[in-house]
Structure 1
Amino acid sequence: MKKLKILAVALTCFGVLQAQQKEVDFNNPTGLKMETEYSSDNSEIHDILSFEGIDYQKIKFSDEELKGKSYKLTVKEIWDGNIKTETVVLDSKNLGVKEFETLKDSVLNMKVMSKLTNDNQLKMTFKFSRFSVTKKYDAIKSDDYSLRNLVDESNLDIGYNKAFYLLAYILPYERADGSKSWCEVGTSGDDIEKWGEKFGIKHYLLFEMTFE
């Protein structure tokens, strides 16, 4: 069995960017790669986005086998440790444009922008080369929401024909001394649907990606 190589640029808990490469066995003999750029690549842009409460990531998937694949992004809304809803953010096969149904290239670029609005909703835009999708999700009144890249932070597997965790929009873990930690949550492994119960997190969004 061949090995899947994941090439990522990870934003560590200390705000330092470092290249990471991971090799794992996967059911599909693929060479799918994922690279992520964060707003902190440019300190001035990072400062502006941080001031406005905006999270921003650029994600690139690449592999020759991406050609001809459809892609789907779904989200689970988790409240008090329970999945309350699970919906489709986008499904390339159902966009209503035939040429968008499957990928014509070996690369898929996606930009993700998110923020908490004044009416306590999480507004998220997923921007692709020729279209974008914007969604809003109910939230609690808190400036502590943070968009995390799970493949980077928890070293998760990616591949074809099987949904994989990609992003989470989370509140922090609040310690007994009153301090808060997002990284302690984001790096805690793949038992992601149990975060609410494990860390006492009131609410978070969990995004899964599928190529097939």
Structure 2
Amino acid sequence: MKSILFSLLAMAQITLCTAQQKPKGSIAMTSKVYSENNEIMDLMRFENINYFKTLFKGDSLKNKKFTITAKQFWKGKLSKTDTLLNTSIFEYVGVNKTDSLPLRVISKTQGKNIEVKFIFDRFEVPHTFKGLKTSDYSLRDFGTDLPIEPNKPFYAFAYILPYEKDGGKYWCAVESSGKDIETWGKEFGIKHYILFEMNFIE
């Protein structure tokens, strides 16, 4: 019963967190959580799959390349940084020629493996991380709450564990705390989380 409650609570927390007022920037990031298909939703919940259908939009996106970097934090400290994608070194990707960039992100945990895949229209970027053996990880579209500008790195997504207190687990308390995202481990006693940083560059 507790696992059911925590699962539903995590999804409710995502909805509440995304209901905040969005800051303005020359690039807007919007995300749609999960699917309108009930059968697909049931399967995703059963398999502990997180999914975001995301869109970046703004005139500043035209003729830009971009990067995706993963930063892992263990026990409050940055332990590892991986460049997952840099379109500057892939000629077949080229620059973004329009004022929009669609992106789908899907993730799940299996044992101690964390599998994340960034899916674009013409290619995808998969990566596997080592984490803790728990299904409490939750993917958050953190960038929807940030003003996004070209040539300024920003945290688009965060894959986090909840803040635990008095037998409860709280994801939104972490995401909407107003604390520096890089200090979440120390502030909330979170053993491990991953930040996905993006940057739209010339």
- Relative to the length of structure 1, the TM-score reads 0.83
Q: Select which of 98, 107, 123 maps to 1:105.
A: 98
Amino acid at match of 2:102: N
SS of the equivalent of 2:84 reads: strand
Residue aligning to 2:7? none
- Structure 1 residues 123 and 42, CA, compared in 2 at 3 Å: closer, same or farther? same
Amino acid at match of 1:37: K
Q: Select which of 139, 145, 148 maps to 2:131.
A: 139
Residue aligning to 1:8? none
Runs of 4 or more above 3 Å deviation: 14-24, 40-44
Contact in 1 for aligned 2:35/2:41 (Cα 8 Å): yes
Report whether the alignment pairs 1:166 with 2:159. no
SS of the equivalent of 2:22 reads: strand
Distance 2:41 2:16 in 1: 13
Deviation at 1:101, TM superposition (A): 2.7
Residue aligning to 1:7? none
Report whether the alignment pairs 1:124 with 2:116. yes
Residue aligning to 2:88? 93
CA RMSD of aligned residues (A): 2.1
Contact in 2 for aligned 1:156/1:190 (Cα 8 Å): no
Q: Select which of 172, 175, 179 maps to 1:186.
A: 175
Deviation at 1:67, TM superposition (A): 1.5
Distance 2:120 2:80 in 1: 25
Which residues of structure 1 form unaligned runs of 5+? 1-10
Distance 1:93 1:142 in 2: 36
Which residues of structure 2 form unaligned runs of 5+? 1-10
SS of the equivalent of 1:65 reads: helix
Report whether the alignment pairs 1:59 with 2:54. yes
Amino acid at match of 2:182: E
- Structure 1 residues 51 and 12, CA, compared in 2 at 3 Å: closer, same or farther? closer
- Relative to the length of structure 2, the TM-score reads 0.86
Tell me the alpha carbon deviations over residues 67-108 of structure 1, each in whole angstroms, 9 at most, x when there is no partner: 11011111110000000011111111123xx24131122211
- Structure 1 residues 158 and 80, CA, compared in 2 at 3 Å: closer, same or farther? same
Deviation at 1:66, TM superposition (A): 1.2
Which has the larger helix fraction? 2
Which has the larger strand fraction? 1
Amino acid at match of 1:35: T
Alignment length, in residue pairs? 191
- Structure 1 residues 135 and 18, CA, compared in 2 at 3 Å: closer, same or farther? closer
Distance 1:181 1:173 in 2: 5
